[in-house]
Amino acid sequence: MTALFVVAVLFFIGYLVSLKIHPLRKCPVCKMTGRHFGGVFTYSYRRCRKCNGTGRMDRWGTQAFFGGTNHTGVYPKK
């Protein structure tokens, strides 16, 4: 049981380090293109509303543990 706890803690620490190095993930809506194409006129598109056209999204842990980067990938200076 103790070993399982240690493994869980190590995994969690690794997750936090990973969040610092890679705070972003792909936008699930536009797949990082930042664009949302029309259904009829397929050449037409608008900015993706989910990620505001950046294609970048904060990871869940980035927001939960570090307050988020506002989807920029840059942590605010303290």
8 Å CB contact between 35 and 46: yes
Q: Can you point out the beta strands (E) in 2-73?
A: 24-26, 35-37, 45-47, 56-58
14 or 70: CB nearest Zn ion: 70
Considering only residues 9 through 68, tell me which ones interact with Zn ion, judged by CB under 5 A: 27, 29-30, 48, 50-51
Q: How far is the CB of 57 from Zn ion (least distance, A)?
A: 7
19 or 30: CB nearest Zn ion: 30
Rounded to an integer, what distance in angstroms lies between the CA atom of residue 60 and that of residue 47? 22
Q: Which residues contribute to the site for Zn ion (CB under 5 A)?
A: 27, 29-30, 48, 50-51
